[in-house]
Amino acid sequence: MTTPLLTVAELKERFVDVSDVMQADIKKLVQYQLQNKCQTLLKKIYSRNPDAKVAIEYTITKNRQGKYEADFVFTADGEKFVTASHQGFKVATDLITHAFDKWKRNILGVFGWKKLFK
């Protein structure tokens, strides 16, 4: 028996000067992160409060140098975590991995131990 996937209540994306093909790749990677990598985080959040509202809002921009920048706002049970990557990434999908990794480290701590024992 498989357990149902946990999801976020709200997912908002915004793109500035990003091609349609790249937008599709980014959206696909965000869904992959949510369905696979973030299930542990979502379980932890929902175990604390089954009625928690989890929302993700992000903006990805292609700058004048042709590199990608991003702003992510992760909201979980009323707590906001904001991460911005403005140094410019050559590969837009790397922004997604970077942002979700920062969120994971914030929730679980650097090695996954920080908040597990509270």
In a domain, 76, yes or no: yes
The alpha carbon dihedral of 57, 79, 4, 105 has a sign of positive
Instruction: Note the pLDDT tens digit of each residue in 14-66.
Output: 999 999 999 999 999 999 998 888 888 888 888 888 888 889 999 999 999 99
CATH number where 47 lies: 3.30.160
In a domain, 39, yes or no: yes
Instruction: Note the pLDDT tens digit of each residue in 52-105.
Output: 888 999 999 999 999 999 999 999 888 899 988 878 888 888 889 989 998 888
| Predicted TM-score of the model (pTM) | 0.82
In angstroms, what CA-CA distances link 47 with 44, 50, 67, 71? 5, 6, 38, 27
Mode of pairing for the β-strands spanning 79-89 and 68-76: antiparallel
In a domain, 9, yes or no: no
Instruction: Name the one residue in this structure whose structure tokens are 């004048």.
Output: 64
Domain total in the chain:
1
Query: DSSP string spanning 1-13?
Result: -PPPPP--SEEEE
